[in-house]
Amino acid sequence: MRGVCGKRRCILDRTRRVGLIKLMCGRYALAISPELVAALTGVASAAGFPPRYNIAPSQPILIVIGGREERPDADNAERQLRLVRWGLVPSWVKDPKAFPLLFNARSESAAEKNTFRAALRYRRCLVPASGFYEWQRAGKRKQPFLIRPRQGEFMAFAGLMETWQGADGSEVDTAAILTTSANATLAPIHERMPVIVPPSQFGRWLDCRSFDAADVAGLMAPAPDDLLEAVAVVDAVNSAARMGPEVQTPVDRAMTEATSPNQDEPEPEKRKGGPAQGSLF
């Protein structure tokens, strides 16, 4: 894959420098109510947002950030939910259009990278999710899997937030998801997975006043092997234009419906263009 080169450096090479081994595309889902998200993360109130089954990089995502007692530069008194752009842009970047889309960050090296160091120390956040997608190569094609909790319908990824400010005074809140090596459940599908913060450690992760990067290093580990399950789903999730619950249809159910003698044959669907699917983590 070729990078897009500008006047000073190649974006692909810069992406490798800041901690991404390769360019990746990714998707995850958040399909539970805002009231439940707020209750599970200790947020007093939540604005309404619709269920989203196929969230892609550069889109708005929901995060949880600490209040003044947890975050030194907080502009909010209490812990709150906030919509931000999925793709972290550090405050020192002059032209975000020339900066790579950093939607994830390797937890093993984040504390050493100038791009992520300050956010890991002062602006940690949680990214609520009900599942994420990963692709496993099967011959000449890639099979998508929905990775979700075995129990319940909620988990929270470890995230980093930065606010980029333009020369005209405009501000854009952005975020990235931290990743770690895959656990035994995910390893047959992919080598990486998101860092999933246990609910009992939400406060520690969000408390950037009391706990620095070294204090939370132990949280950036693979999830327990029995926390998640992987379900093969239909290829509809490959297209970011497909945003409904149908993208989570298990493959075996889709095959059963397709071969049922009582099922009307659907009209052929035109395949929409878009980036090929790779790895979220």
The catalytic residue positions are 25, 134
DSSP type of residue 254 = H
- Give how far Cα 32 sits from Cα of 43, 123, 151, Å: 15, 25, 14
State the first-to-last Cα distance of the chain, in angstroms, to the nearest integer.
18
Four-CA torsion 254, 136, 86, 180, nearest 10 degrees = 130
Question: How many CB atoms are located within 10 Å of the residue 97 CB?
Answer: 7
Total count of residues recorded for the chain: 281
- Mapped onto helix, strand or coil, the DSSP state of residue 64 is strand
Residue 265 tokens read as 């044959």
Q: At residue 81, what are phi and psi to the nearest 5 degrees?
A: -90, 145
